[in-house]
A = this chain, B = another copy of it.
Amino acid sequence: MAKVQITETVLRDGHQSLIATRMRTEDMLPICDKLDKAGFWSLEVWGGATFDACIRFLKEDPWERLRQLREVLPNTPLQMLLRGQNLLGYRHYSDDVVKAFVKKAANNGIDVFRIFDALNDIRNIRVAVESVKEAGKHAQGAISYTTSPVHGIPQFVALAKEMESMGCDSIAIKDMAGLLTPMTSAELFSELSGAVKVPLQLHTHATAGLSEMCHLKAIEHGASIIDTAISAFAGGTSHAPTESMVAALWGTEYDTGLDLQHLQEIGFYFHEVRKKYHQFESEYTGVDTRVQVNQVPGGMISNLSNQLKEQGALNRMSEVLEEIPRVREDLGYPPLVTPTSQIVGTQAVLNVLTGTRYKNITNEVKYYLQGRYGKSPAPVNSVVRQQAIGNEDAIERRPADLLKPEMHRLQEEIGALAKTDEDVLTYAMFPDVGRDFLEQRAAGELKPEPLEPLPSEENHQVSA
């Protein structure tokens, strides 16, 4: 009962966090036999960024990757991350697309669907959860963790209860920014485990160097599954190292039962693999506790600094960092995760650079204020709303209720380029990049982006 289980993330969030999601299927397959024998609760293998990177950069069919992994991982549940009604894309899809996508993902090999909504608007995950249950698969409800005056343990507990009654088979806390501290983890899981009966899982990031401690305290207070990454793809903006957590729990009542030497062999394999992708490494891969001070996720800061650099305004960064919490308050404290992190960040940059707050308002903020992303955690600032959308009423209903079925339209749009329903869904998720991919495939012109040679090989070439 107290035994702890592991979701290994190296094939999704691990390489997404550390090498810009660039790991190729050819580097996954050789180690799958060992991965399959390790005894993980699940292997996270799929999500929005892996799908996108496959078609955009690697010129791989993400569905084909999934089928290949399924083939060589017969004994391990495969897991994906799904953005509720957004699926893997950046807009709300109609219910028929959601149902089709979940069905195809299940058919091609996904066993565990982790489903979240950026605003924690539970209505946005319902159709996905129901579709997963219909496919006979494991539906995990994930709560986007954040801190704000309207986010606390009672709110998270209420969400967990709603997810449980909705039929979720387990519940995850998704701390994408690494905001959790050990003592908060203890309190949160203590309350959650008292309130729901389904298994509780923790997904947190190592950014601030707190993830191992958060896992330990969560486990002591009722978490039974944790997300880790094999050491070669752990740490920094990724997760706690799998081997370290297994060693930490070994011989205790929380023993994972996994074999440390077996895991070390997997770690050595990925250590070599990582070298191949050195061009995608961040300059800084160490511990960064700034998120604990300003509550802004590290990934968001690097995006902002790119935006500011393009406009020659990198010196305004500290003003933008001060503006972010104000915009977030105006918008009713959305958690900062895709897509709300981009929505808040871009508006904060505009507010600073134009010199007048909300002089320019992005379309995304307008949509947000219209309720088109769902219900904000707290009421939005009515002055800002008035300025953005006038006296227009905000949508009270679930955003997808306004959408007509669209699978048929999508099929027609992409036409003969789609050989399968999976191809239609690829186009649906990423209209531009997806179409490009299908066109290149039709023309026999799929060319993966080149990898730079290893630094040692380069030196060799210079001296040769």
Residues of A that sit less than 8 Å from B by CB: 181-183, 208-210, 212-213, 216-217, 231-232, 234-235, 240-241, 243-244, 246-248, 250-252, 260-261, 263-264, 271, 284, 286-290, 292-293, 455, 462
Contact = CB atoms under 8 A, between A and B. Distances in A.
Nearest to A243: B289
Given A212-B212, A216-B216, A181 B289 contact: no
B209 A287 contact: no
Contacts of A250: 181, 292
Contact of A261 (B232, B251, B293): B293
A213 B248 contact: yes
The secondary-structure label for the interface of chain A is: helix
A260 B209 CA distance: 13
A271 B241 CA distance: 23
Contacts of A247: 181, 208-210, 289, 292
Nearest to A217: B216
Contacts of A241: 209, 286-287, 289
A12 to B, nearest CB: 19
8 contacts: A182-B248, A209-B241, A210-B244, A212-B212, A213-B248, A234-B286, A243-B287, A247-B292
B292 A271 contact: no
A181 B209 CA distance: 17
A209 B209 contact: no
Contacts of A235: 235, 286-287
Contacts of A289: 231, 241, 243-244, 246-247, 260, 263-264
